[in-house]
A and B are shown apart, each in its own frame.
Chain A
Amino acid sequence: MEVTFKIKRFNPETDTEPYWQEYQVDVEPKERVLDALLHIKRTMDGTLTLRFSCAHGVCGSDGMVINGINRLACQILMQDLPTGPVKIEPLKGFQVIKDLIVDFDPFFDHLETVKPYLINDELPPSRERQQSVKERDRFDETTKCILCGICTTACPSFWANGEYLGPAAFVNAHRFIFDSRDKGAQERLEILNDKDGVWRCHTIFNCTDACPREINVTQAIAELKNAITFQQF
């Protein structure tokens, strides 16, 4: 089927302003949006620039705004889009480097702020630490995060304030705070209780709606707020 792609382009080497460029593409209904974009790049316009790698939603490279919604281009099939032109834009809230490429360095800086690694200075046993199935389940949801940035760049609070740590950082804080093996909850919760922490979340649910791993991000943030308020984790 013939589809029109309207892609937001910007190359700082040659452009002063972003602009929209249209491409007519013949696609199969079962093709991914990523396949169509690669078809454009590889047969029509080699200057079109985007990130991609695994092509099945596990590496988190190809986040972009598709028809106004944050998506991974490899996770959306052409047949799942409404008829009419497909509008493609870079993720919002990060600086655009070129076309659909945004600067992810601030995203990873924010992630690092919440100490997203196991903190436990006790000498471990010679075998694995014990963890019950129930304890493991407690944080299963947030282990799924692939750090694609889709939630953070869907968040109006983040658009308004780039210093806001954002949902992805919270998800990864949650993953450790509720891990029975971890001892760093207190120090992380202090970070999350700061002015750029969880209280800037206004439960808009954009993050949860957008998450390609179907993580209930808003729920996780609510649990962090509770943990701060009631000192329970």
Chain B
Amino acid sequence: MALTRLSQDPFRVTIERILSPTEALVNGRPMILAGTNNYLGLTFDPQCIEAAVQAVREQGTGTTGSRMANGSFGGHLALEQELAEFFGRRWCSVFSTGYLANLGVIAALTGPGDVILIDADCHASIYDGCRMSGAEVIRFRHNDTADLHKRLRRLGKRCANTLIIVEGLYSMLGDRAALAEIAAAKREYGAYLLVDEAHSLGVLGERGRGLSEEAGVEDSVDFIVGTFSKSLGATGGFCVSDHPEVDLARYVSRPYIFTASPCPSVIASTRVALHKLQAEPELRVRLWNNARRLYDGLKGLGFSLGPEPSPIIAARFGEKEETIVFWNGLLDQGVYVNMILPPAAPDGGSLLRCSVSAAHTSEQVDRICEAFASVKMALSL
């Protein structure tokens, strides 16, 4: 197999020791982490850590079961209340991971006889949730609102039973959904709209509520799904909405019922991180300064990037083998990024995807650019 002949297995990299939100020891040497989705850099925040430690001491290491069977801890309910307030919505349900949030929400909201219209570049968790729902699943071309209109027109009266699903920021190229136009289409045809703000929570919008806020269409978005595992630095997921179905989903959602609820330390650090996301807008400023610095730097080096600066910055490569060799070259230079190979990347190509953090220093961002330049020169690309 080309992968293992050319490289160590990129899907089995061992982080021997994590040193900070942006540094680790890999293969015995220090590495700048540029592929973590740790957008606000809160994983080592002293207050988040202290809250988690205190929760472990007071409430133990785990809940050892489902909320349906074992009951909800006070922290679960408090976090749901705080998320609902943050988004200005009536209802919130918390799930054990972001993946489970999409599975649980999509499969609970839709069923046989319904239609789900998804952007072709949606995350695997959305595809899996669609499959689990039993609804009819139709893809529209990535961010192509004309194609979305066409498919809504074809559905006719069935639009009333149609859920459109898009993402705030797409995880492969870091591009935004054309949400103002998509929300307008949703209103025109009378469908429902779910936005997965996994990568845009804490990243977009004046208050960090995501693309729905930035695009000024929160009123048209029926359901927002998000995760704790990126900007909030922990693990878990949620859905907020004004529709009571999100609360009722607890009774029918297998991914909510048949798994252990988030442990107290995760809930505790997430609550502090959510507070910081709101109280420290300077984190977002630092994140975007770093994002623009890296985007401009890599663009200046001649790499083909996504359409706009974003904390997700992916360099496109044509050949898989070239991508693998380049990724290894970056590791040798002390920079860790994500390698995306076909068919995971859009258009059948390969990507080396960076994500920047508010915790990166300008010097680290420059080092990432230097590593890309150095490997590019060594490979005569």
A and B held together in a complex: no
